[in-house]
């Protein structure tokens, strides 16, 4: 496989992330276009089956992105106005917005400082008799302890939706994230490990839920356009309930099918590079690199580092100095509750969220990264964080 040349392959700049796309993806996309069927069709169906197998889910339903997958998950659960959905503020804002799309109220819970994820201890204090669901994020690919969260929530009848946008290839309690769960949502944005440009997947263990999800993503139609076409005869469709247009295209699915075959190689290379960062930065006092929790393994979709609390320079100064050295690091995960879009929601004490969002940064990590490139990042970071 030859990597395609990148527009920013300037030797002096190290990107924070770079998708791993090769000639096979080019050929697969071209084949889909040449077939004349580019909307949702047979390649989406094949992608769903292969994805379900890969993560150990009974069913996978392809959608337009992970945000629509989360929206659909809450819609399938019947969550709506008057209901509360617990979410981490420490996440991309789509997690919070998903609750809003169904008319529910997002309620922020704090996260654990080590993993950046919700835990039973951070969720329990914000539960009320209106809580209908919790969106548990596997932030940056680090698996959340879904077992202890389920033990807390199931007896209360509160649903768990997993935001696995970042977590393809991560494991929890010995199984892939998304295996055997009620509802998990994945993203194929280029910032994630597996990409189709834009795209998402909803996995579920329930065939009934999957059937309804497939209908809802296509305007509530009784027969999909692809099925009607395949039958060749006139099959009038019915619209069984108000639905959405959340479809993926066959061009995206063709790319995604190739990307699935790269997951193991991607994850093992990222874990190798992350452990090399850990060794090379081990003697920087107080600097903490994200790591596997006791109950699972991360895919290192993002390798984030928490800066020492007593550092004389701010995180943004660190980023500026790295940028000056031609290294494109990024601020860590955002905190939704600090954004103007969430000014209408009650303020809560979220100390771990605020510490993490203020003092963490994401280090460059991509499949094609070389050791000399990584050494440059380490040298530049050590010069700032000494
Ligand atoms: C990227 C991301 C999303 C949104 O994914 P899209 O496919 O871009 O809609 C949602 N949640 C988390 C945690 C993410 O990182």
Interatomic CA distance for residues 298 and 189, integer angstroms: 18
Q: Are 313 and 377 part of one and the same domain?
A: yes
**Which one is predicted more confidently, 171 or 385?**
171
Residue 47, domain CATH:
3.40.640.10
Asked, for residue 3, whether it belongs to a domain, the answer is no
Contact between 109 and 127 under an 8 Å Cβ cutoff? The reply is: no
Q: Which of 54, 71, 132, 192 is catalytic?
A: 192
Pocket test for ligand 1, best of 100, 144, 166 (most atoms within 8 A of CB): 166
Any ligand 1 atom below 6 A from CB of 92: yes
Asked, for residue 13, whether it belongs to a domain, the answer is no
For 255-278, what is each residue's pLDDT tens digit?
999 999 999 999 999 999 999 999
Asked, for residue 1, whether it belongs to a domain, the answer is no
Residue 374, domain CATH:
3.90.1150.10
Any ligand 1 atom below 6 A from CB of 166: yes
Contacts for 116 with CB less than 8 Å, ≥ 6 apart? 90, 139, 140, 142, 290, 304, 333, 356
Q: Is the pLDDT of residue 5 over 50?
A: no
> Which of helix, strand or coil describes residue 132?
strand
Q: Are 255 and 289 part of one and the same domain?
A: no
Q: Is the pLDDT of residue 7 over 60?
A: no
Q: Are 192 and 280 part of one and the same domain?
A: no
Asked, for residue 279, whether it belongs to a domain, the answer is yes
Q: Are 191 and 53 part of one and the same domain?
A: yes
Any ligand 1 atom below 6 A from CB of 298: no
Pocket test for ligand 1, best of 67, 116, 191 (most atoms within 8 A of CB): 67
pLDDT average, residue stretch 144-156: 98
Q: Are 208 and 113 part of one and the same domain?
A: yes
Asked, for residue 124, whether it belongs to a domain, the answer is yes
Q: Are 114 and 244 part of one and the same domain?
A: yes
Supply the pLDDT for residue 11: 54
Q: Are 218 and 297 part of one and the same domain?
A: no
Residue 88 Cα, ligand 1 centroid: separation in angstroms? 13
For 305-346, what is each residue's pLDDT tens digit?
999 988 999 999 999 999 999 999 999 999 999 999 999 999
Supply the pLDDT for residue 1: 42
pLDDT average, residue stretch 224-239: 78
Supply the pLDDT for residue 225: 75
pTM reported for the whole predicted model = 0.95
Residue 310 Cα, ligand 1 centroid: separation in angstroms? 32
Supply the pLDDT for residue 118: 98
Supply the pLDDT for residue 102: 98
| Calculated CA dihedral for residues 350, 354, 356, 359, nearest 10 degrees | -160
Instruction: Tell me which residue range forms the domain holding 27.
Output: 23-260
HSE-CB of 8 using CA atoms within 13 angstroms: 10
Q: Are 154 and 276 part of one and the same domain?
A: no
Task: For 303, list phi and psi in degrees, rounded to 5.
Answer: -100, 95
Contact between 289 and 305 under an 8 Å Cβ cutoff? The reply is: yes
Beta bridge partners of 327: 14
Contacts for 299 with CB less than 8 Å, ≥ 6 apart? 141, 166, 167, 168, 169, 170, 193, 266, 267, 270, 271
Supply the pLDDT for residue 228: 75
Any ligand 1 atom below 6 A from CB of 200: yes
Radius of gyration of the chain (CA): 21
Interatomic CA distance for residues 165 and 296, integer angstroms: 17
Question: Closest residue (by CA) to atom 2 of ligand 1?
Answer: 165
Contact between 218 and 225 under an 8 Å Cβ cutoff? The reply is: yes
Q: Are 240 and 313 part of one and the same domain?
A: no
Task: For the beta carbon of residue 3, count every other beta carbon within 10 angstroms.
Answer: 13
Count: domains in the chain: 2
Q: Are 188 and 325 part of one and the same domain?
A: no
Residue 4 — very low, low, confident or very high, per pLDDT cuts 50/70/90?
A: low
Domain end call among 239, 260, 281: 260
Residue 142 Cα, ligand 1 centroid: separation in angstroms? 14
Residues in the chain: 386
Domain end call among 260, 279, 297: 260
Q: Are 58 and 192 part of one and the same domain?
A: yes
Domain end call among 244, 260, 276: 260
Would you call 192 a catalytic residue per the annotation?
Answer: yes
Interatomic CA distance for residues 16 and 246, integer angstroms: 30
Pocket test for ligand 1, best of 165, 186, 299 (most atoms within 8 A of CB): 165
Asked, for residue 18, whether it belongs to a domain, the answer is no
Residue 99 Cα, ligand 1 centroid: separation in angstroms? 14
Interatomic CA distance for residues 253 and 255, integer angstroms: 5
Atom of ligand 1 nearest to the CA of 166: 15
Atom of ligand 1 nearest to the CA of 94: 10
Mean pLDDT, the chain, rounded, equals 94
Asked, for residue 11, whether it belongs to a domain, the answer is no
Residue 384 Cα, ligand 1 centroid: separation in angstroms? 31
> Which of helix, strand or coil describes residue 107?
strand
Asked, for residue 107, whether it belongs to a domain, the answer is yes
Q: Are 241 and 111 part of one and the same domain?
A: yes
Region of poorest pLDDT, from 6-20, 99-113, 153-167, 339-353: 6-20
């Amino acid at each position: 496989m030859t990597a395609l040349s990148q527009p920013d392959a300037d030797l002096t700049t190290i990107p924070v992330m770079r998708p791993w796309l090769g000639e096979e993806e080019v050929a697969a996309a071209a084949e889909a276009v040449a077939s004349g069927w580019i909307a949702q069709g047979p390649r989406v169906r094949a992608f769903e089956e292969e994805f379900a197998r890969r993560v150990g889910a009974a069913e996978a339903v392809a959608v337009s992105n992970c945000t629509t997958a989360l929206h659909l998950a809450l819609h399938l659960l019947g969550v709506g106005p008057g209901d509360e959905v617990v979410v981490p503020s420490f996440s991309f804002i789509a997690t919070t917005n998903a609750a809003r799309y169904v008319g529910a109220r997002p309620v922020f819970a704090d996260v654990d400082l080590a993993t950046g994820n919700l835990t039973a201890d951070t969720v329990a204090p914000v539960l009320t008799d209106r809580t209908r669901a919790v969106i548990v994020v596997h932030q940056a690919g680090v698996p959340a302890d879904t077992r202890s969260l389920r033990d807390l929530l199931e007896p209360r009848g509160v649903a768990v939706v997993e935001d696995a946008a970042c977590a393809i290839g991560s494991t929890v309690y010995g199984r892939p994230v998304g295996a055997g769960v009620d509802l998990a949502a994945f993203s194929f944005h280029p910032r994630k490990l597996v990409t189709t440009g834009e795209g998402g997947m909803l996995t579920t263990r329930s065939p009934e839920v999957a059937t309804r999800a497939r209908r809802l993503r296509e305007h509530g139609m009784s027969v999909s356009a692809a099925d009607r076409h395949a039958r060749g005869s006139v099959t009038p469709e019915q619209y069984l309930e108000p639905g959405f247009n959340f479809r993926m295209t066959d061009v995206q699915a063709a790319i995604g099918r190739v990307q699935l075959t790269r997951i193991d190689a991607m994850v093992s290379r990222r874990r190798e590079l992350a452990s090399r960062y850990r060794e090379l930065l081990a003697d920087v006092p107080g600097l903490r690199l994200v790591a596997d929790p006791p109950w699972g393994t991360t895919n290192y979709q993002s390798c984030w580092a928490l800066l020492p609390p007593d550092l004389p320079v701010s995180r943004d100064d660190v980023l500026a100095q790295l940028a000056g050295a031609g290294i494109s690091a990024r601020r860590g995960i955002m905190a939704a509750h600090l954004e103007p879009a969430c000014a209408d929601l009650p303020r809560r004490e979220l100390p771990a969220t605020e510490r993490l969002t203020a003092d963490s940064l994401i280090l460059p990590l991509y499949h094609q990264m070389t050791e000399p490139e990584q050494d440059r990042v380490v040298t530049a970071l050590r010069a700032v964080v000494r």
